[in-house]
Structure 1
Amino acid sequence: MAARMEDLLPVEYFHVVFTLPTPIADIAYQNKSAVYGLLFKASAQTLLTIAADPKHLGARIGMTSVLHTWGSAMTHHPHVHVIVAGGGLSPDGTRWAACRPGFFLPVKVLSRLFRRLFLEGLLMLHQAGKLAFFGNLSELADPDTFAAHLVPLRKANWVVYAKPPSAARRRYWLI
């Protein structure tokens, strides 16, 4: 069913993208269900947590997420696109708390929390035996090797961006 313009809230919308770094994308390729599920969970929790923080928006937000597993170069490039309204309900549910025009949430803050939540979740998946490794990743089955593999990822910048969508994207959402 196609959405209609009048079905949207009369507020600014934002397009937020959470991308997995290549060393994690390789793990995701061999563990699609577990890692893609974690990608959805960590990205949503990141947005909900930062948006609820009174230092940022102080609101309960809603979102729609879509998984893309391939990039424009047709290489494995898992990332989640999130469409989110530029605001949300106040904690008591009595008013709309709008974000600043043209600015949703700070991407550096989003990126750091997303990185932490995702890596913690990935480690828990490994400890629970829910990840399998084959070929050149088979050594990651060992807990110590896996933990060492994650160390440089804890300090790396993870790609998260948020911007108002283009007019073309807004039309696409309505299809």
Structure 2
Amino acid sequence: MTSGRLPPAEFYATLPRAIAGAAGLFHDPDGRVLLVQPSYRTDTWLIPGGHMDPGEYPWDTARREIKEELGLDVRPGRLVAVDWVPPQDDGRPALVNFIFDGGTLTAHDAEHHLNLQADELTAWRLCAPDEYDQFLAPYMARRIRACMDALHTGQTVYLQHGRPPQAPTD
């Protein structure tokens, strides 16, 4: 230690930890979103995606996860949203999730081209906005609504647990 500073490795060890993930948002021309039902969670549906491997870029994670989970070899489109999820009561560290435009996927295309990863996913569905609250956890329903708005406006949104950050009040 010099000048009261920690060596870099020790300093980095004092910083908070976060994990990262990436996903693809597929949608049909009617505005429905592709959801998948994970075998490890029966209480909610998700969009295709997962955690980043060490050294992996978010876009590469989305592409890998889409191929692994759905059997689709696609190049995700633009970044639609970044969602920061705070640490959870069950011990999960904070999560930063990158959501990319997966593109248009019709019911016909899904029926003929999806090949779900059998040990991880049990079903898929195209979900209309009025069904989000029925199939998704509240933060995920908020995230998907914000992502669909971002797709329509051409914006990329920053979210905090599915919500835009609150403006400071004076």
Greater relative CO, 1 or 2 (CA 8 Å, sep 6+) = 1
TM-score after normalising by structure 1? 0.31
TM-score after normalising by structure 2? 0.31
